[in-house]
């Protein structure tokens, strides 16, 4: 009798909440993003927002992707980029978007995407006489870039010394006022930011890299979860949903 009671007790213990992980009830993934229009942005333009107060191409795609994959998540927009990058890199259950998938980052995260293109360009004022055939020729000029961004890091690694701004949109104003000669930014992101400030006449003097933007998940994220998200995104692309979302913003 006593042995039977022990067996029953152990059986009930195994069914108790929190005793063992239930694959169907995983903790929500914590997704972090920043103001990086038109891919992700706070609806009030501030540097903090949550859930439905975050808009943009990538935000809309990520929401639909997680909905289709039936994976719980929370969504927060924070500042600065370096902070949210570090959280996603170091904390299990965290992810960050949008991020350029670069060779030096490849093994640090698990990736879902692409969510959109991010060509790297150098923009100049409309009256600028600067003409470039390659990036090396830009060394003589004062180039503005965004702190912690892949473009700024790449320029620094090449031995260049970009003038760093805390917000990429500040470079549009600095370029217009003559504080910098060139603005190293993404396309379409840079043009979108400039338009928000009423600056519509900047010209591209060099297109020096083509990259794609992704959702980057902490590398402890289970492979089956990553596969579900990728499958959902691929389905969205086949059905034309991705193009539809792009069309809303561009």
Domains (range + CATH), the chain: 29-116+213-249 (3.40.190.10), 119-209 (3.40.190.10)
Tokens of 127: 């009256």
Mean local confidence (pLDDT), 103-113:
96
Checking if the pLDDT of 15 tops 80, the result is no
pLDDT at 26: 65
pLDDT at 247: 87
The four Cα atoms 212, 215, 217, 222 give a dihedral, to 10 degrees, of: -100
Q: Find residue 104's DSSP bridge partners.
A: none
Q: Token match 């992707």: residue?
A: 65
- pLDDT-derived band at 231 (thresholds 50, 70, 90) equals very high
Q: What is the pLDDT of residues 162-202, one digit of tens each?
A: 999 998 999 999 999 999 999 999 998 898 889 889 999 99
Tokens of 208: 């020096």
Q: What is the pLDDT of residues 35-46, one digit of tens each?
A: 988 999 999 989
pLDDT at 98: 96
* Cβ-Cβ contacts under 8 Å for 238 (sequence gap 6 or more): none
Q: What is the pLDDT of residues 194-207, one digit of tens each?
A: 988 999 999 999 99
């Amino acid at each position: 009798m006593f042995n039977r009671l022990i067996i029953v007790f152990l059986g009930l213990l195994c069914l108790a909440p929190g005793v063992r992980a239930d694959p169907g009830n995983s903790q929500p993934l914590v997704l972090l993003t920043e103001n990086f229009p038109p891919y992700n942005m706070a609806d009030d333009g501030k540097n903090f927002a949550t859930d439905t107060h975050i808009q943009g191409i990538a935000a809309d795609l990520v929401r639909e992707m997680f909905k289709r994959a039936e994976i719980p998540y929370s969504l927060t927009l924070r500042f600065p980029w370096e902070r949210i990058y570090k959280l996603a890199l170091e904390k299990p259950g965290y992810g960050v978007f949008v991020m350029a998938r670069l060779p030096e980052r490849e093994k640090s995260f698990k990736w879902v995407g692409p969510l959109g293109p991010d060509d790297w360009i150098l923009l100049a004022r409309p009256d600028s006489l600067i003409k470039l055939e390659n990036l090396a020729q830009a060394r003589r000029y004062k180039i503005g870039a965004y702190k912690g961004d892949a473009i700024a890091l790449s320029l620094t690694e090449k031995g260049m010394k970009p003038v760093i701004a805390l917000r990429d949109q500040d470079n549009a104003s600095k370029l217009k006022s003559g504080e910098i000669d060139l603005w190293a930014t993404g396309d379409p992101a840079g043009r979108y930011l400039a338009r928000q400030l009423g600056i519509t006449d900047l010209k591209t003097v060099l297109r020096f890299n083509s990259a794609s933007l992704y959702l980057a998940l902490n590398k402890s994220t289970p492979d089956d979860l990553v596969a579900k998200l990728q499958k959902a995104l691929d389905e969205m692309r086949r059905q034309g949903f991705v193009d539809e979302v792009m069309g809303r913003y561009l």
